[in-house]
Structure 1
Amino acid sequence: MANTPQSKKRARQAERRQDVNKARRSRIRTFLRKVEEAIASGNHETATAALRAAQPEMARGVAKGVVHKNTLARKMSRLSARVKSLAA
């Protein structure tokens, strides 16, 4: 349990950041789900548009420290390959 004023403040700040990070992670997942659904539908144009919309949101997650850089790079690479395979 937090005892000092500083540790109490840090606990409050951590709680606020947790809510912000949770919302950002949820938003990223929503964008990823839209890409997945577009890929499942088999429509290349829709999937490409969804991927383009998801990229900046995912990059923002890395910049804010919500998602690890390599995790995002892996996800982006795999999604891009799947979208690209729809064109063929």
Structure 2
Amino acid sequence: MNKVVVGQKHLLQSLVISLLADGHILLEGVPGLAKTLSVKTLAQALDVPFSRIQFTPDLLPADLTGTLVYNPKTGEFDTRKGPVFASVVLA
């Protein structure tokens, strides 16, 4: 990850520590500090699903958790999981 994200040693160490501790991490900072790139790179390195949630005023709970979608071919409802079911979520 050091080859992809340059100059953010503390951030990368914090990501790895939280991963090893089976915890969560809150990344805060001004735009342009490679927060998104760091999280995407971590997910790629671990080969796990990554999703990003953009919080907007019209966001519904189903936008996060998923919903049932009717399939007219089968006449049944199919489950569409939301972004919170990814292993790495950037919100």
Q: Could you say whether these structures have the same fold, taking a TM-score greater than 0.5 normalized by the shorter chain as the test?
A: no
Q: TM-score, normalised by structure 1?
A: 0.32
Flag the structure with larger Rg.
1
Higher helix share: 1
Q: TM-score, normalised by structure 2?
A: 0.31
